[in-house]
Structure 1
Amino acid sequence: MASEPVNVNEFQELAKQVLPKMYYDFYTGGAEDQFTLKENVEAFRRITLRPRVLVDVSRIDMSTTVLGYKISAPIMIAPTSMHQLAHPEGEVATARAAAASNTIMILSYSSTCTVEEVASSCNAVRFFQLYVFKRRDISAQIVQRAEKNGYKAIVLTVDAPRLGRREADIKNKMISPQLKNFEGLISTELDCDEGSNLEAFVRAVYDDSLCWEDVIGWLKSITNLPILVKGILTHEDARKAVEVGVAGIVVSNHGARQLDYTPATISVLEEVLQAVGGKVPVLFDGGIRRGTDVFKALALGAQAVLVGRPVIYGLAANGEDGVRKVMKMLKDELELTMALSGCPSVKDITRSHVRTECGRLRSQL
């Protein structure tokens, strides 16, 4: 690009210029027709703002807490896999940017840097994202390593008993590198005549027999860390999560990479929140590209949002500094949105500050 990016969408073009096509497609792609991939972003555009005026916004406080940990703004780094495909420093660079941004990073189980490398790279609050393997002993080991190395919560991803059909990866015959967290425990180097070897790996090792009655109880038996579940889209599953005693919920459709034609996450956020009834915190994941998007998710009840692909784009474009800039752009845009909407603090952002499609239809009746 001829000039420095002025918003996070422009980092995507920079990432496209520097990444091999296989890796760019891996990061950007969704499942099947990619309907949900587009909807995650488009659904935000159908929500409009209702700004309040003549409010003292000379000081804006964006800080909030998640599980008792204070962060500078309600914008966290989502778990995304294999950062070294985007930049040689991988998750270590992302972790340092998270620390500099005073926010929480959720490290993916499929990180290309180890749990220990990321933990020793900087002093910051980190959570660890988990899939449960058929070999529970391997999953238990990685959870215990995360706890030993100071990670503060386990984020269990529950929407991937099998890998979604990501057709770009199939066409590109996507090759997943050996994951350092599992060296000596399990190999990702599986023979696969067609499609991606990542799909073959998931089919071979993920436990697709998991159920509510089993997995949360098992996790609680091996760790004292709070457990959040990521991948909730319905009020039925939200209630079930609360019943089994999770510490929090992440409303997510896996970045539209699992089941296509699921709804955009922002369109089901209120359904989940109503079911939870304030009993546990609810975080939001999916389609955040602007500070206005963050504001809208907070207005609809999310405690904080997770940002995935934009972080990868920043990392690919300029390493740690690129991630820092992405986070700063979103924070700056959120601060401006709060000021122009008459919200001097996060707690001042309410449902009355946004109008959804349903609200518009009701107002016309």
Structure 2
Amino acid sequence: MKEVKEKARELMQGFCRVCKVCDGRACVGEVPGMGGLGTAASFKNNISALASVKLNMRLLHGVTEPDTSCSVLGYDLAMPVMAAPIGGVSFNMGGKVGEEDYIDAVVSGSKACGVIGCTGDGVPPFIHEAGYAAIVKNGGLGIPFIKPWEGGELDEKLEKARATGCAAFGMDVDAAGLVTLRQMGRPVSPKTPAELEKIVSKVHGWDAKFILKGIMTPDEALLAAEVGADAIVVSNHGGRVLDHTPGTAEVLPAIAEAVSGKLAILVDGGIRDGADVLKMVALGADAVMIGRPVSVAAVGGLQEGVETYFNTLKGQLVQAMILTGSQTVKDLTSRVIHRG
């Protein structure tokens, strides 16, 4: 990973510093770019919320080879991890790696490591087109996320995504805060429960699953369940749309308490290593999505970089499971969280 990060630092100069600790401090306000909006409080809160979670170390047990596998949304995963939907290499990451090469590295690298890669969306058509091509190349194994566009663009992109053969579709409603899209003449907006219910019904008519990304409160998690969503992503869009939100690890437990068993619960925000994955699952998530670290790995090493990152992550997760006495992912409950 050291070599991958060094290469990424070179290629992403001026857009991401590839800091030793990716905590939002060096890239405050750098949107577009890889930073957090405004004061970057939301980005930084994601990090601090996770850091505040402490683990109970247990060593009087027989766990030596934990099983990190799980099943989420019908996907059999090698570990409870997905690559978050991030696109726009040219204006967020420096553009020294092409969009097609970047997203192919994410989706193909994810598949090679037994996890799922998600693809992003944006104003230039090549963002979603490159993502859909990568999913097709990988036999439909990938999840396309579509922004909450106004007008006919949403339905058009849903139909295009359907042609990839994917088994799940996502919508990042948190992207409704991206004012840059409206400035480009392509507005996005929040969606009412009635609007979402129609979208979910359409996707279910295709015998596919629907994921709603951008849930930060228990009441909206319940609304997502009511409109028929199969999963939510607890997310503040990486701290890139609204300043001063709490970190996702802070709000996750209450959301999980409200909707656990009603739909799958995913979460992103500040997840960097295997211990972070363990924490989020113990706080109530079924799986996590990882954004910036995967992007850095893809830019710095393409598919090999992504595979190196995920293999490193899995090793860290195994170690953390051993040291908390957790044989399976189902053992990652509140028992591993220290309550001071």
Q: How far apart, in 2, do the equivalents of 1:296 and 1:30 lie? A: 23
Question: What secondary structure sits across from 2:2 in the alignment?
Answer: coil
How has the CA–CA distance of structure 1 residues 94 and 209 changed in structure 2, closer, same or farther, with 3 Å as cutoff?
closer
Per-residue deviation, 1:22: 4.3
Per the normalisation by structure 1, the TM-score is 0.80
Q: Which structure 2 residues correspond to residues 4-23 of structure 1 after superposition, within 5 A?
A: 5=2, 11=5, 14-22=7-15
Question: What secondary structure sits across from 1:52 in the alignment?
Answer: coil
Per-residue deviation, 1:27: 4.0
Answer yes or no: is 1:210 the counterpart of 2:220: no
Q: How far apart, in 1, do the equivalents of 2:298 and 2:282 lie? A: 29
How has the CA–CA distance of structure 1 residues 124 and 143 changed in structure 2, closer, same or farther, with 3 Å as cutoff?
closer
How has the CA–CA distance of structure 1 residues 132 and 112 changed in structure 2, closer, same or farther, with 3 Å as cutoff?
closer
**2:97 aligned partner:** 87
How has the CA–CA distance of structure 1 residues 240 and 198 changed in structure 2, closer, same or farther, with 3 Å as cutoff?
closer
Per-residue deviation, 1:125: 2.1
**2:201 aligned partner:** 220
How has the CA–CA distance of structure 1 residues 68 and 36 changed in structure 2, closer, same or farther, with 3 Å as cutoff?
same
- Letter of the aligned partner of 1:34 in structure 2? A
Q: How far apart, in 1, do the equivalents of 2:77 and 2:136 lie? A: 20
Q: How far apart, in 2, do the equivalents of 1:209 and 1:65 lie? A: 30
Q: How far apart, in 1, do the equivalents of 2:330 and 2:236 lie? A: 26
Q: How far apart, in 2, do the equivalents of 1:209 and 1:155 lie? A: 15
Per-residue deviation, 1:120: 3.3
Per-residue deviation, 1:161: 2.3
C-alpha contact (below 8 Å) 1:153/1:226 kept by paired residues: yes
C-alpha contact (below 8 Å) 1:92/1:118 kept by paired residues: yes
Per-residue deviation, 1:213: 1.6
- Letter of the aligned partner of 2:111 in structure 1? A
Question: What secondary structure sits across from 2:176 in the alignment?
Answer: coil
Per-residue deviation, 1:58: 2.7
Q: How far apart, in 1, do the equivalents of 2:268 and 2:43 lie? A: 12
**1:272 aligned partner:** 255
Give RMSD over aligned pairs: 2.1
Q: Which structure 2 residues correspond to residues 251-330 of structure 1 after superposition, within 5 A?
A: 251-330=234-313
Farther-moved stretch of structure 1 (313-322 vs 250-259): 313-322
C-alpha contact (below 8 Å) 2:211/2:232 kept by paired residues: yes
Q: How far apart, in 2, do the equivalents of 1:113 and 1:283 lie? A: 25
How has the CA–CA distance of structure 1 residues 124 and 217 changed in structure 2, closer, same or farther, with 3 Å as cutoff?
closer
Of residues 72, 76, 98, the one that matches 2:82 is 76
**2:156 aligned partner:** 141
Question: What secondary structure sits across from 1:228 in the alignment?
Answer: strand
Per-residue deviation, 1:198: 4.9
Q: How far apart, in 2, do the equivalents of 1:229 and 1:147 lie? A: 17
1:98-134 CA-partner distances (Å, limit 9, x unpaired): 1111111111123365344212333462111011322
Answer yes or no: is 1:247 the counterpart of 2:230: yes
Q: How far apart, in 2, do the equivalents of 1:27 and 1:67 lie? A: 31
Bigger-Rg structure (1/2) = 1
How has the CA–CA distance of structure 1 residues 284 and 106 changed in structure 2, closer, same or farther, with 3 Å as cutoff?
same
Where does structure 1 lack aligned partners over 5 or more consecutive residues? Answer: 165-196, 361-365
**1:352 aligned partner:** 335
Q: How far apart, in 2, do the equivalents of 1:123 and 1:86 lie? A: 27
**1:179 aligned partner:** none
Per-residue deviation, 1:206: 2.5
1:287-313 CA-partner distances (Å, limit 9, x unpaired): 001111101001111100000000111
1:333-355 CA-partner distances (Å, limit 9, x unpaired): 00110011111111111101012
Answer yes or no: is 1:118 the counterpart of 2:134: yes
C-alpha contact (below 8 Å) 1:97/1:320 kept by paired residues: yes
- Letter of the aligned partner of 1:109 in structure 2? D
Answer yes or no: is 1:338 the counterpart of 2:321: yes
Question: What secondary structure sits across from 1:314 in the alignment?
Answer: helix
Farther-moved stretch of structure 1 (315-324 vs 24-33): 24-33
Farther-moved stretch of structure 1 (232-241 vs 153-162): 153-162
- Letter of the aligned partner of 1:55 in structure 2? H
Q: How far apart, in 1, do the equivalents of 2:115 and 2:77 lie? A: 5
Q: How far apart, in 2, do the equivalents of 1:323 and 1:83 lie? A: 16
How has the CA–CA distance of structure 1 residues 37 and 115 changed in structure 2, closer, same or farther, with 3 Å as cutoff?
closer
C-alpha contact (below 8 Å) 1:83/1:112 kept by paired residues: no
How has the CA–CA distance of structure 1 residues 86 and 27 changed in structure 2, closer, same or farther, with 3 Å as cutoff?
farther
C-alpha contact (below 8 Å) 1:99/1:123 kept by paired residues: no
Per-residue deviation, 1:152: 1.3
Per-residue deviation, 1:284: 0.9
- Letter of the aligned partner of 1:18 in structure 2? L
Q: How far apart, in 2, do the equivalents of 1:23 and 1:264 lie? A: 21
C-alpha contact (below 8 Å) 1:23/1:86 kept by paired residues: no
Farther-moved stretch of structure 1 (99-108 vs 14-23): 14-23
Answer yes or no: is 1:234 the counterpart of 2:234: no
User: What number of residue pairs does the alignment pair up?
Assistant: 315
Of residues 41, 45, 48, the one that matches 1:35 is 41
